[in-house]
Amino acid sequence: MQSKLIVPEASQPNQEGVVLRVTPESAGWSYVGYEMVKLKKGEALTRETGRLEACLVFLSGKGDVRTAEKRWTGIGQRMSVFEKTPPYSVYVPSEDSYEVVAETDVDLAVCTAPGGGEYEARLIEPGHVGVEHRGSGNMARLVHNILPESEPAHSLLVVEVFTPGGHWSSYPPHKHDRDALPEESLLEETYYYRIQPEQGFAVQRVYTDDGSLDETLCVRNGQAVLVPKGYHPVAAPAGYEVYYLNVMAGPRRTWKFYNDPHHEWLLK
């Protein structure tokens, strides 16, 4: 299985507002789904979750969210991801439903993975998002842990990362493609990118120890990368700040990564 660069499906959203969609079927894997949905003020997105759980991340804009039993109004605060405040998100379990109504124009990330139905829908407020400054020097980046393994969910892990221009992220290179705990967990992963200024780009390499997968991708604003296996470092060119939203899921909900031993010395 190779990594994939996913570009927006069309210049304009479809009838549901979807501009980019990843499903397990389209990705050729088993767990992670991702959609980028753009809603104009007053527009709505209505879904049944079925066997999937969902994390709805307000990348920008404000709106109301209603599930089968709960409702939240006027959530969202940032108008751009590059305001760098933690987002509002809503966790919705499997066998539930949700409706999102846009109070302003909204960019909504719909993150999905297999659910178990054992958790309740809940609002994830900015104050409940773990803020972490990870790395040092030109490996420093800002991390928002939206749905980490310490918070309840069946499969999903969701995090967003801000990488300054000239810095590296997901670095030193690491992977999580073996179900071999406690050393390493198996997690599929999507990267959804925003670039500031928008004409910029990011560079992501995805490679394995045996060389069967070794790709270097130029990623532009609004595009996504699928990481089915291998190490997957990211570089932000000088002058361009790089944002990405990660969605991960696998057979066991824990993030245990394995560093590329050739580059692990950087941690020392």
Give 222's DSSP letter: T
Work out the percent of the chain whose per-residue pLDDT is above 70.
Answer: 98
> Among 257, 200, 253, which Cα is nearest to 223's?
200
Q: What is the mean pLDDT of residues 5-33?
A: 87
pLDDT in tens, 215-250: 999 999 999 999 999 999 999 999 999 999 999 999
pLDDT in tens, 49-106: 999 999 999 999 999 999 999 999 999 999 999 999 999 999 999 999 999 999 999 9
Rounded distance between C-alpha atoms, residue 74 and residue 102, angstroms: 9
Question: Dmax over Cα atoms in the chain, in whole Å?
Answer: 52
| CA 87 to chain centroid | 12
**Cβ neighbours of residue 183 under 8 Å, at least 6 residues apart?**
256, 258
Q: Kindly tell me if the per-residue pLDDT of 108 is higher than 70.
A: yes
For residue 247, the SS3 value is strand
For residue 202 the two structure tokens come to 């990011």
**Cβ neighbours of residue 186 under 8 Å, at least 6 residues apart?**
176, 177, 178, 179, 180, 250, 251, 252
The torsion region of residue 126 among left (phi > 0), alpha (psi -120 to 50) and beta comes to alpha
**Please, are residues 156 and 55 in contact by the beta-carbon 8 Å criterion?**
yes
pLDDT given at position 10 = 57
The percent helix, strand, coil of the chain (3-state, each to 5) is 5, 50, 45
Residue 11 confidence class, pLDDT cut points 50, 70, 90: low
Give me the chain's average pLDDT, please.
95
pLDDT given at position 7 = 75
Pairing of β 52-60 and β 122-124: unpaired
The helix or strand, by DSSP H or E, that contains position 39, with its residue range, turns out to be strand 33-39
pLDDT in tens, 143-161: 999 999 999 999 999 999 9
Work out the percent of the chain whose per-residue pLDDT is above 90.
Answer: 92
pLDDT in tens, 167-213: 999 999 999 999 999 999 999 999 999 999 999 999 999 999 999 99
For residue 28 the two structure tokens come to 């050729």
**Please, are residues 130 and 80 in contact by the beta-carbon 8 Å criterion?**
no
pLDDT given at position 5 = 80
Residue 9 confidence class, pLDDT cut points 50, 70, 90: low
